[in-house]
Structure 1
């Protein structure tokens, strides 16, 4: 028995996340019964699984490296009839899809497989699998330009940065640079360099993780060798463990923060018995172990009460200095006095 989403991913239907969306949408059936439980398990030997009423057959996993020329699309269907990267491997019977797309004008390495779990790890930016590119840009980028790529550039969909950048060689008025990314947003390198004022003239991906394009001709494909596949899976597993470790540390820190009290109560200070009047000697904090401070015992001298000024305004109903009692009614104004302020009316004397 294995989880349904894992079974579908191994069958080449898609990544586990994509398979979860298919299950939640009710597009998956087991023995003709629609299932929507994401935790459902399946026995491949005793049960038949269908996606959109089409039987799912577990295929042998295959891994192909393809050198995509410019002008090809990384999709399974194009209404305009433009050439597809899938057309470069017509002899492959399994249902494969591209790992890490390249736009139409770009060229270089594509990894095509039906291993949905491996593809998810290689493509998702949180795992940080490196992709290496050679880029020909207009002009001559300065050291500050290259540093800005490392520090990060703000685009419409957020801040993006390169993991490493190196100037390779000049070519006329243009320059070749080597860029390594750990994520693959749409036309990311082109937009980053355009922000810096350097148009991308040519873009070629030469590596995904430890797998190199090497000398594979344009438009050709080859199977991934066993050592290459082993190294690729090792890098994927290492990336997953790194992400799990970071997530585990974050959870542990969160649990520790919740278990600790928000603030530690401070015990009140009490005057020592027998202290002279006007000078209050306080008992040391019991948390200090009863040890006296290096500055000696703490002494508190009460602040003398402030004297009221004889010119202070009296409160309501209280006669001030030099004023007989009852000369001013409480809460009112002296008789015959008009209130302060502008008289009523619109800008003129009151009527």
Structure 2
């Protein structure tokens, strides 16, 4: 059987009871989920902002992973370049030894060929994640090497990646398609003003388009001028290798700076998201306690209102 409550006091108490019960349920849900704004219905503006920030945070995680991969690629290339510097330095020493008539040039020639094999092997083995920054076999050489360094959002929320780049021409040591694009395979002039030209290259890897000039090698017929020209070209190669190593070192430093920035920005985004949607547990605890107390008081008041008038009078005496 249904009853209709007409007592104004009881109706007011019921209204209050509904309000405090709703408040208690809301706070309890916020405490359980740890989210003050769980859906757009809770606060459309905060929810939308937090959703965008979460998207940025996820993008930063991807950027962080890409930076780690990029750092590994650069480290691999840098290590290989420093190794090449050591081997080319040994080749230079071998040529210097050949300038002394007392040394056996046949033996020095064998030694040099071994060093050349080391160079070719080192370049071919520098492969990380499917990329070899020191070797090119394609008809068209890459323009630059790059790793993802971050992103920016456009005026309408578009995602634009930012890359850390380095000229690919500086890292190509061997080019099997066109020898002139590889530092170790291209022809280098010992004297740009010399006529006829005195051009030399270090490695012959059978490139489709071979280098002009003479291969750097030692033989019994090598003249003093030949050896001096070879030393000049080797010095040029060493200078280029040192510049490449320095450039890769700078690139690696930029990557490390971006990694630190991404980590700091990610922490900042998490803090911002929390400020927008997370529940303040201390405040929620106080609110929940207050709502429960108010509900208990309203329930007690309704109980009193439902007692007989005589009992109410007795309480008032």
Flag the structure with higher helix content: 2
TM-score, normalization: structure 2?
0.24
Flag the structure with higher strand content: 1
TM-score, normalization: structure 1?
0.22
Bigger relative contact order (CA 8 A; separation at least 6):
2
